[in-house]
Structure 1
Amino acid sequence: MGIAIPSLAQKTTLDGTWSFRTDPTNVGEQQGWFRPETNTASWDSLPVPGNWDLRNEYAHYVGKGWYRRTFTTPTRSNNNVARLLFEAVYHDCAVWLNGQKLGENHSGFLPFEFDVTKRLNANGLNTVVVCADNSLTRGAIWNWGGIRRPVSLVVSNPVRIVRQHITPSVDLSKKSASVSVRVFLQNHDNQAAETAGTVELTASNGFRRSLPFKVSLPASSMASVVVQTTVTPKETHLWHFDDPFLYTSNVTLANTGEKQSNRFGLRKIEIDNKAYTLKLNGEIIRPMGFNLVPDDRTTGNTLPTWRIKEDIDLLKNLGCTMTRLSHLCLPEEVMDYLDERGILIISEIPLWGFDRFADPASATSKDWLTRLITNQYNHPSVIGWSVGNEIGYFPKVLPYVEKAIAYARTLDSTRFVSSVSHTGQFNPDIVDLGDIGLVNRYGQNLGPTTRQQHEKHPNHTLFYTEYGITQLDENLDGKLNARLLVDSIRNIPYLIGASLWTFNDYRSRFNGTKEGSGNRPWGVVDVYRRKKQAYFAIRNEYNPLRSLTLNASATSANVTLTPRGVLDLPAYPLHGYRLVWKRTDAAGKIGQGGLISLPDIRPGDAPKTYALNWQPDNAFAMTVELITPTGDVQADTTLFLQKPLPPKITYTNGGRSYFNGTNGGGLIRIHFQKDPTATAYKARFGETGLTQETPTTINDFIDIPKLPFGKTYQVALIGINGAGETQSAAIQRIKVDSLPYAPPVIQHVEPADGGFFIGYASPETDYIYRVQVTSTSGDYTNVRTVETTNPGALFVSQLTNGQPYFFRFQRVTDSWTDSDWSEERSVTPDGGQKPAAPVLQGIIRDGNEAVICFESVPKATGYVLDYQPEGSTTWLRQSISAAQTGRFILTGLDPKKTYQYRLATINPTGQSTYSTSLTGKPNDKVQRKR
């Protein structure tokens, strides 16, 4: 159950390029496409992990897709066991090895494996074939097809560790804990076996226990053994979303040396349905969160490490503390990072709506629930299980939920179990069957419907697993009235939190999808994770403080922190938070700054004011940040001291919009390079002077619509920040031509392995999208042209990694009219390439601590921080796991010494070069380049 790969086992990855063929008429099995001798000369090639929907030619394909590859049997002893492991294939699949069917799997989100010990060709070539079928859809989420997660062959000893289940129990009154570890073992041999081993428990606080065990395993059987220990108050460090401290359990078999390692946390969750409270480690919390749709338009639902980390880092920046994160079962890699970063999760099996699997007789839903709980049992981030979402109208739902909850409790008695309801206005309802009332509701004023649900189900504490108003826009200017929405559910004692639908926009076929691109725009970020206006609006409402205000003079300021009220949302105690202030230049480099360790702040506390002082300078801006113990900026305010730098226009176009009329059918489009000194932009324009202006935008383009054809306009771009406005250096004159259409709006360009993606808006009048690619800037006489009718995104393939390319983009309307070409852009395919070095913005030092501030690198999976006392020749090293926070808190410094610092980026290929190093004295406010 699940994928466990102990160390010392021999693992062979089967990731890479596989042969691929669609099967729209469902003849593949009948024609024997699974046979090793099948001729694949006409087959395509696709990457694994991957989704076929990411390729232009398969972007809308639904049905069966066949994958196959060969591999060599690894060297092994006669009694070794070989297993073929799949992390996930969407959604239904059958697998063959050397022409023999191994079996089927019917979940697109859960791992599975096959014992292939007797199926491998001895010292020869093997052919593995997978037929994946993405016909089954789950809710409004895109049914990405293919082998979406890694595949591997693992060879191990006949007696092996299957998994371990770690069950901590915390005694808050004694400030101690106990830990029980059940080790599951399997004997694949036809002879009984005796085995011994050790469970080694460790933590960075010095905790260590070595717990031996012995177990007898009959032939061809599984068995388990339990070991237990206590954790003293000195050794007990509780896991919290602001302090996700982890312990490690290493299981080792004595006779083979095989090991398996899992992390766990000590934490206590309590729900009181009489007092309507949720407690974490004895403290009342009223948490807020977001739903995540775990996919995007450039990696589908393959979830590479950089996508996992960027999403979770952004969620932490938004103040996400608790959520039913996804309808879908998430991979182990995601769960590990949630444990590490600290978010409370309700994990759910993917039952949704009028679902035939919401039946007490369904073997499928039981199988999914069994595998979900078995796989995610050790994760401290998981505090509860959900047996379905919005299934209240299915005729057999009440007996299903009752049976599923009872069954889940037999698998895990340490977490709450419920089912998410959108029928809480009825009684009876599935709300009454669970341990907590998980409910979904939409509307800008949720107060009355919340009270109605409470009246129907007064014995349950309520948590909104989904709430929101409506779809926004994929345009970054899409707004959300977050204050009105969240205020409507604040100060309701029996409602302890809520999770917004959604964090991100997502591709969808579902009825009512608003955008022609096929992107369903519920998110506060778009499908490429660009931040919308809604991002900043909801982040302000999720601030753990009621407000953070800055009142500054020439060389001093007062910062006032106003805590949340007791029944506010969110509301929870703040322990170990820091206040960071910095004065920066136009490039964001820190000139002066400071660090204040804050006392505990609790809901209902009085406001606190802190005085700041600095030397006279010519800073461009001053920023104050509230930073969590995990290094996440939860709140900030910036005072701009100078107007923005003049913005730079990169491209202009005057032509026809999609409007077919002749009077007012013209459009001027301005593309520009966004600058960190501006927070918004607008254009001024007019025929004889700059007499009119557009609304402000955070996009990198501005449209001026409804203009008459044939006229010439003066246009200037304006950058805006809190200190004022700055006009672009040159006023441009643009004629509105009646013939050409404006080119597509390019939303995103992303380098990829062997090519690149373009994301774009897709008005309803668009028919074809055309891109021309060249290796010589400006030379489009000898180019490669790619065309597609796919809305929203396309992929340009068969390019050389590491080589720069240049491209321009065009659309063809449904009247077969070509638009103008876009401006030229450049991109370098990044497969197998090391990442760019990060830019260090500055080091803010106070005593034995330093806050490392840097610009995060796209697609980073982490960083390496080197530091050394000045004069030393030996660098000390600190790994940074977070990928997109831009902050790291370094502790344990000698408060009397000056240190040098340098930073490098990590990705799956390797490590970048180092940044320019910085140095600073203890409590020094200025960092100097080396």
Structure 2
Amino acid sequence: MPSAIGQTSSNDSLSLNGSWKFHTIYGQGSDYLRIDEQEGDIILDNSSEKVEVKGNWTVSSVGDRESGFYGKDYLKTYITSSDESQRVVFSPDLPQSGDYEVFVRFPFGIHLSAKVSLHHDGGIDDQYFSQRALCDEWLSMGIFQLSPEGVSLTVSADSPGQVTADAVMFRPVDSAKLQEAKKELQMAYSPSLDDQSWNDLKVPGHWGMLNEYSNYTGKGWYRKSFRLPSSWKSLKGHKALLKFEGVYHVAKVYLNGEYIGQHRGGFTPFEFEVSDELLAKGENLLAVEADNNPLVGATWNWGGIIREVYLVRSPEVRILRHQVQASPDLDQHTASIRWMVELENASSVPKDLKLVSSIWNEQSRVQGHAELTLAPSDSQQVFLELTLNADQLKLWHFDEPNLYTIESKLMAAGKEISTITERFGIRKISLTDSSLLLNGEPVRLAGLNRVSDHRYYGSSEPADFLREDLLKMKELGVNFTRIMHGTQNRKLLELCDELGIMVIEEVNVRDLENYEFTAPEYPLVRQWLKEMIQRDINHPSIVGWSVGNELADHYDYARDMMAYVKSSLDSSRLVSCVSNTGWREDATRETDPNTFVDIILHNHYPFQGELDGVLKRIRSVWPEKPVFISEFGLDRLATASRDEDIPELDAYIQQIRKQNTFVIGASQWTYNDYRSTYIGTDQEENRTWGAVNAWRQKRPLYQRIQRLNSPVNDIRIKGQPGEASPLKLEIPIKSPDDYPAYAMRNYSLELNYYGPSGNIIHQEIQELPDLHPGDADWQGSAEAVEGGQTPIRLVANLRSPMGIIRYQKILDYSAPSAPVISSIIPGNGQLRVLFEKQFGASQHYIHYKVNGKSMKSAPSYDTYIDLKDLENGQSYDLKLIAVNGQGESPASALMAASPDGKPLPPVLWKGMIADGKLIIGYSGEVNDESYTLRYGNSPDQLDQEITEITRGMMVVDLPNQRGLYYQLRRKVAGQESHWSALQQIDPRGEGK
């Protein structure tokens, strides 16, 4: 079994990130988008006479949750146990013995682990499928050698839940092609293989960065050649460690043709010692087989080497890791720092050692040290302790996230042999039955869940992208979050430390019936918890751990796993298990693991009933425990449009404002849209829950959440900036029982006055006194705008000490100027009107006439408006009007256009250049067959063209090219759409 990664000195580290070779081998995976029925396929629908139904199954001709299905109907049942009597058996008539690829197809079913058993000459092959995802698609089970006698396929389940059965398909396979694939597999990890024909793929990354693997599920092979640094003349007295931060989901590792080991679990780090397999001279060949088959939950399985890889030359006597526990005395303003340093002696002789640890920040530096003798082939934990005085202590807080550095050096015979460096923070988290206290102050905090997902970067987001995301989340009022299901990217947690976001980190356990888990000990889960907590234990942003999300029948599991965390891994933090069951009538202290949690983490959605009633039910059973709403959502947004909002959110939040005060915070689902195969996902494969879309573009929902998640109720501004008398300012502060509520120290009020061209003509910044929940409204004034300039807009920003906007108020002093229609694209009974936003406009709408009747489109925050339900061939006169807080603009110049019966092109969400690639994000609709991109270096020479079936995103290699122009169209039911409006990528790689 691999061991978890510890910190190490960068001086002896060789990065293996960057370009790798990537390839898939026939028979090891499939892409459901590219599976079409073909001549020779043997298909059995549930209505076939070759299908035997055992048990109580119902025939249904309506798919649940609008799911499609094969043929005229399908079967469904509710399995109450693992009784084999409840099953559907498909028995095909195979024409002859041979190799067949076997497929199954399901409509939506509740079960997360439906069991599909293929009975054949070689035995029984069991596989498990979530029936909530990839509904009504052909899903490959793999290639098998089958004979006509005795082959059958059974659909059932090993655990209770609703199961569906619909259709299966057996496809004859070219044996010669399969034999060639087997030879290829034997060579995949061989140093002698010429891999120049393989794809180039970035690490960290995922294989969905390549169009042909956008929807691929299965095994993919990575290869990388490298030489050891010249400074590594010898490994004598050292050992070589190959370290992976994350491979999704199962990794098999080979070095120079030798099998090194395997790791299961895509989000946690692992390492192997490879001293004996490395070549000191010449090329080393590292090969990794990554398998993303296990599908868990509603998020995407981003397959591949998703996080960093590096080789470390480590001394035989080394520091393995730090574990720092800082305990502040808030009355004395001091802090006790106690830390453990784990040492290892892998040599064959005892070692006399000196350990020196230094702790510092910008103001101070302190040291602790110890001397010891470490026996051969042994490890030891050394504990050190010191106290910081009032001058040395700076507490970590979400508004002022002060950090310290700890560096430990191990010395032998006066020579430094091992060093590790980490950061930590000093803060105190405590609970009462109704409150959360941070550094002794009660706080009620807002949050948003963030799915580790971007349409191009997948779950391999680079540090600068993560920073941009977290800054937006801070701007949305996020101070506390159970961020998502699964161990987070190390870089994200480092940024949470720096930016001040409190996190409950969760192990990736979403279904205890997952075939990977073994009850009652769940050794794999314990491994994941250990890998996660040992890596992340020193992050001050992490205030708690969660052992799972929305589990069923989990009383024993949650109790035992939380006890394991507290007793063996970390006794200093909160421990919980995210629940959506504690509100039920059958949930009691004796049946629900909320009894054992430090803080109740509850996910609330509308099917449970009104939030107020759910909270009161939970409180009646566990009155001694505060509640954090770890997820809440009213419903998915109706479309992927950048115009989407949730006006009902105000009333929802009202249920925890000045009531249900035992709720110490709430985290909305979600900050971002994310890719998914879950039922109901839109045609571009994104779940539309976000304040920003999958390309991080803001919706009106963004401003709504920012307002609701502010510690103040408003910024009131009275008067006119052009008047001689100063503006009167007022900031009403939320009360202690309001939501959110916390003290504001070192905040400022920034007033920006804008002229007609959008430039700031005057700025004023006022430092505010300390403001506490329940304080009287702050009152002040603003000086007059100088120079006789008349502003058209005032933007007032309440900023935290870090410069984060905590509330924004926009006042317009004149209506917008007339907008301009840039182009109109005709469609089938539709017109798409495109325009550019001008400064001072909040929304736009189209005025037009239908049969002499004046019509107005819905207002849009975007740069286009689609008019629907029009008549092809009829001419329509269109005018564009801009709107802001002072009213409407004059109308644009009149333009006429006629729908022509051709489809509209996709909406272009985003164009960018990254990693030497042109990346285009676009919309999708149900009947889309393909998408064609044309591009070039000038607007009148789009001489490159590519057609793909990939939904939502297309990627094109662009070596040494910048300043590109492009257009996109789609094919719908055999008909080509119009081209989109011409777009440009500027030299910095961003779309205009």
Output the TM-score relative to the length of structure 2: 0.79
**Aligned residue for 2:227?**
72
Give deviations 1:443-495, integer Å, cap 9, x for gaps.
Answer: 28311111112122223211110111111132112121220111123221222
Once the two structures are TM-superposed, the CA of residue 31 in structure 1 deviates from its matched residue by: 2.3
Once the two structures are TM-superposed, the CA of residue 441 in structure 1 deviates from its matched residue by: 1.0
**Aligned residue for 2:969?**
810
Once the two structures are TM-superposed, the CA of residue 354 in structure 1 deviates from its matched residue by: 4.6
- Select the residue among 750, 754, 767 that pairs with 2:912: 750
- Select the residue among 835, 838, 846 that pairs with 1:675: 838
Rg larger for:
2
1:610 corresponds to 2:797? no
**Aligned residue for 1:477?**
643
**Aligned residue for 1:893?**
none
The aligned amino acid for 1:536 is Q
1:714 is paired with a residue whose SS is strand
2:580 is paired with a residue whose SS is coil
Give deviations 1:757-780, integer Å, cap 9, x for gaps.
Answer: 111111112111110122232124
1:764 corresponds to 2:926? yes
**Aligned residue for 1:502?**
670
2-side partners of 1:149 and 1:829: how far apart? 28
**Aligned residue for 1:848?**
none
The aligned amino acid for 1:461 is P
**Aligned residue for 2:371?**
214
Change over 3 Å in CA distance of 1:260–1:581 after alignment to 2: same
The aligned amino acid for 1:803 is R
- Select the residue among 12, 15, 18 that pairs with 1:16: 18
**Aligned residue for 1:241?**
398
Change over 3 Å in CA distance of 1:258–1:675 after alignment to 2: farther
2:618 is paired with a residue whose SS is helix
**Aligned residue for 1:635?**
807
**Aligned residue for 1:267?**
427
1:446 corresponds to 2:614? no
RMSD of Structure 2 on Structure 1 (CA): 2.1
Give deviations 1:695-751, integer Å, cap 9, x for gaps.
Answer: 11112210111011111111122222222322465321112213x211111111122
1:330 corresponds to 2:488? yes
Change over 3 Å in CA distance of 1:477–1:326 after alignment to 2: same
- Select the residue among 125, 133, 139 that pairs with 2:291: 133
1:699 corresponds to 2:862? yes
**Aligned residue for 1:886?**
none
1:576 corresponds to 2:746? yes
Give deviations 1:373-431, integer Å, cap 9, x for gaps.
Answer: 1111101111111011111x23xx21211111111112111111111111002112121
Q: How is 1:766-805 mapped onto 2 (pairs within 5 angstroms)?
A: 766-780=928-942, 783-797=943-957, 799-805=958-964
1:718 corresponds to 2:875? no
Change over 3 Å in CA distance of 1:598–1:32 after alignment to 2: same
Worse overlay, 128-137 or 3-12? 3-12
Give deviations 1:230-277, integer Å, cap 9, x for gaps.
Answer: 01122221111011011111112332264321111111111112xx11
1-side partners of 2:200 and 2:684: how far apart? 26
Once the two structures are TM-superposed, the CA of residue 682 in structure 1 deviates from its matched residue by: 1.1
Give deviations 1:605-649, integer Å, cap 9, x for gaps.
Answer: 222221112134222211211101111001011111233344343
Worse overlay, 626-635 or 183-192? 183-192
Change over 3 Å in CA distance of 1:2–1:643 after alignment to 2: farther
1-side partners of 2:350 and 2:488: how far apart? 36
**Aligned residue for 1:839?**
none
1:493 corresponds to 2:673? no
The aligned amino acid for 1:450 is L
The aligned amino acid for 2:193 is T
Change over 3 Å in CA distance of 1:5–1:440 after alignment to 2: closer
1:45 corresponds to 2:187? no
1:244 is paired with a residue whose SS is coil
**Aligned residue for 2:537?**
377
Note if contact 1:445-1:488 (Cα within 8 Å) is conserved in structure 2. no
Percent of aligned pairs with the same residue? 32
2-side partners of 1:8 and 1:822: how far apart? 49
Note if contact 2:335-2:393 (Cα within 8 Å) is conserved in structure 1. yes
2-side partners of 1:23 and 1:87: how far apart? 25
Change over 3 Å in CA distance of 1:216–1:474 after alignment to 2: farther
**Aligned residue for 1:538?**
705
2:355 is paired with a residue whose SS is strand
Q: How is 1:227-238 mapped onto 2 (pairs within 5 angstroms)?
A: 227-238=384-395
1:339 corresponds to 2:497? yes
Change over 3 Å in CA distance of 1:690–1:226 after alignment to 2: farther
1:519 corresponds to 2:699? no
Worse overlay, 718-727 or 525-534? 718-727
2-side partners of 1:217 and 1:407: how far apart? 29
Worse overlay, 220-229 or 3-12? 3-12
1:731 corresponds to 2:898? no
Worse overlay, 22-31 or 520-529? 22-31
2:653 is paired with a residue whose SS is helix
Note if contact 2:6-2:535 (Cα within 8 Å) is conserved in structure 1. no
2-side partners of 1:257 and 1:100: how far apart? 30
Note if contact 1:468-1:485 (Cα within 8 Å) is conserved in structure 2. no
Q: How is 1:61-460 mapped onto 2 (pairs within 5 angstroms)?
A: 61-75=216-230, 76=232, 77=234, 78-204=236-362, 206-254=363-411, 255-256=415-416, 258-273=418-433, 276-356=434-514, 357=517, 359-391=519-551, 393-394=552-553, 397-410=554-567, 411-424=569-582, 425=584, 426-427=587-588, 428-443=591-606, 445-460=610-625
The aligned amino acid for 1:294 is S
Worse overlay, 752-761 or 587-596? 587-596
Worse overlay, 379-388 or 47-56? 47-56
Give deviations 1:784-819, integer Å, cap 9, x for gaps.
Answer: 21111122111122x123522211110000x20001
2-side partners of 1:222 and 1:74: how far apart? 29
Change over 3 Å in CA distance of 1:568–1:787 after alignment to 2: same
Note if contact 1:683-1:694 (Cα within 8 Å) is conserved in structure 2. yes
2-side partners of 1:686 and 1:505: how far apart? 36
Q: How is 1:884-923 mapped onto 2 (pairs within 5 angstroms)?
A: none
2-side partners of 1:353 and 1:158: how far apart? 41
2-side partners of 1:384 and 1:475: how far apart? 36
Change over 3 Å in CA distance of 1:727–1:261 after alignment to 2: farther
Note if contact 1:624-1:638 (Cα within 8 Å) is conserved in structure 2. yes
Give deviations 1:833-884, integer Å, cap 9, x for gaps.
Answer: xxx9xxxxxxxxxxxxxxxxxxxx99xxxxxxxxxxxxxxxxxxxxxxxxxx
1-side partners of 2:282 and 2:595: how far apart? 59
The aligned amino acid for 1:65 is G
Change over 3 Å in CA distance of 1:826–1:288 after alignment to 2: same
1-side partners of 2:299 and 2:513: how far apart? 15
Note if contact 1:654-1:734 (Cα within 8 Å) is conserved in structure 2. yes
Note if contact 1:74-1:123 (Cα within 8 Å) is conserved in structure 2. no
Change over 3 Å in CA distance of 1:226–1:587 after alignment to 2: farther
The aligned amino acid for 1:606 is A
1:567 corresponds to 2:737? yes
Note if contact 2:7-2:421 (Cα within 8 Å) is conserved in structure 1. no
**Aligned residue for 1:896?**
none
2:975 is paired with a residue whose SS is coil
The aligned amino acid for 1:477 is D
1:295 is paired with a residue whose SS is coil
